[in-house]
Amino acid sequence: MAAETTVTETTLRAGLVQLNVSDDPAANMPETARMVRAAAREGARLVVTPEVTNIMSASRSHQDAVLKPEVEDATLDHLRDVAAGTGIWLVIGSLALKEPDGDDTRFVNRQFVIAPDGTIAGRYDKIHMFDVTLGGDESYRESEAFRPGARAVTVDTPFGRLGLGICYDMRFPALWRALAEAGAGILLSPA
């Protein structure tokens, strides 16, 4: 679960959490917390969870029924407490969230960097939406459900500047170039 590398003259032990996320955020939360704590116990100082850590559902109506805005999201609150309780840097690969602004009914796919005291050190909204037609009737239109972000984000940590991305962003080199030019030494793209 943990890997070691030397970054900015400091040894960093990182934990990568792999989940089998369901369509029930409340059921996903304890397993996520358990795995984050396990990585911390194994010495990880940076732990990363996957994209949409809180829910995996193709049903827009179900998402609308269970998703919350950032300020009300129980998964975010709980994982902030876990980061503070373990003293680690935690990157929540992303959470599907509602936005309270009212005009756009799409959700956001937001990544969080949580500092060891539980504060939110950075937020990134996924920019590149996965829209594809595979043939026949099979297609995926992430842009119909999620509003894209608009800016590249870096976050300073004791082991280097993080450059944030999520999954499909990996296919767009301009984002990664911008992050590198902004001084990111560690590029993250949880999927």
Task: Give the residue numbers annotated as catalytic, written as ranges.
Answer: 51, 126, 167
In 3D space, the residue among 127, 114, 135 whose CA is nearest the CA of residue 169 turns out to be: 127
Rounded to whole angstroms, the Cα distance separating 164 from 151 reads 10
**Token pair listed for 38:** 């396990």
Rounded to whole angstroms, the Cα distance separating 45 from 158 reads 10
| 8 A C-beta contact, residue 120 and residue 84 | no
For 8-107, strand residue ranges (E) read 10-16, 46-48, 89-97
**Token pair listed for 159:** 């082991």
C-alpha to C-alpha distances, 18 to 29, 58, 188, 191, nearest whole angstrom:
13, 20, 15, 10
Question: What number of CA atoms fall less than 13 Å from residue 114's CA on the CB side?
Answer: 27
